Amino acid sequence: MESRAIRIYAPMNKKIALKVMPGHFATNNSHINLYIDLTTMRSRQNEAVEAARVMAKQYMTATIVDTIVCLDGCEVIGAYLAQELSGSGIMSMNAHQTIYIITPAFNTVGQMIFRENNLSAVYSKHILLLAGSATTGDTLRRSVDCIKYYGGIVQGISSIFSAVDKVDDIEVHSIFKPKDLPDYMSYSIGDCPMCASKHKLEAIVNGYGYMKL
C-alpha cells in the first residue's frame, strides 16, 4: 500500500502534508477509496506544530476553551493547539488559566466514556473536540453526545480531514476537505460500487492506522 502513497499539501500551509493511498478500505461507518495516513502529523513535532497553528486560526479570540478532547491519537497536536490558543488570546475559565488535554476511554461495547479522574475536565467545561479524520461524521456525533452526557459544553470541532461541515449544528473546522483530495469518495457500507464490482477490501482503517485483510 505504501508504494502507492501520494503527498497532498494543505492549501492554507504548504508545510502540512497528508499521505493518502488509493484503494478500497472500510471504516467503522463507511467504505472509502482513499486511506488517509496521519501518522507523521500526529507524532512528528514540526508537523504537529504547523497543524495546530492552522487550527488555532480558525477560532475567534472570544471563544472560551477549557479542555481539548483528543480522538485518533491527536494528543501531541492537542498540546500544541492549547499552546497556540492560549497565545492568541483564547480564554480559559479554569482556575489555573490553562487548558486541559484529555483522551476519552471506550467500554467493552465500544461506547465512548470518561473515567472518574477526568470528569473534572469535562463537567461544565467549554470543550474543543479534536479528531484526525471524519468521513460520515458519525464518530464525531457520538463524541459530542458523550461530552454533553457528562455535562460538557462543546465549543467547537477541529479535524485534520473532514468530509462533513457540521455536526449537530456545530461547525467542523478542518485543514483538509474532500475537494483537496484527488477523487475522494465515501460510500455507505451497503451501497459501495467497489463491493458491487467485486473489488476486495484491502484494509480496515481508522484514525490510528490500518489493518490489512
- DSSP string for 84-114: HHHHTT-B--STTS--EEE--EE-TTS-EE-
Structure confidence by residue, pLDDT tens digits, 60-99: 888 899 999 999 999 999 999 999 999 988 989 998 889 9
| pTM recorded for the entire structure | 0.91
Identity at 144, one-letter amino acid code? V
172, 134 contact by CB (below 8 A): yes
CB-neighbour burial class of residue 19 (10 A; exposed 0-12, middle 13-18, buried 19+): middle
pLDDT in tens, the chain (213 residues): 567 788 999 999 999 999 999 999 998 889 999 999 998 899 999 999 999 999 999 998 888 999 999 999 999 999 999 999 999 889 899 988 899 999 999 888 888 999 999 999 999 999 999 999 998 899 999 999 999 999 999 999 999 999 999 999 999 999 999 999 988 999 998 899 999 999 999 999 887 788 898
- What is the tally of structural domains in the chain? 1
CATH at 130: 3.40.50.2020
- Give the domain extent around 100: 2-212
CA–CA separation, 21 and 82 (whole Å): 30
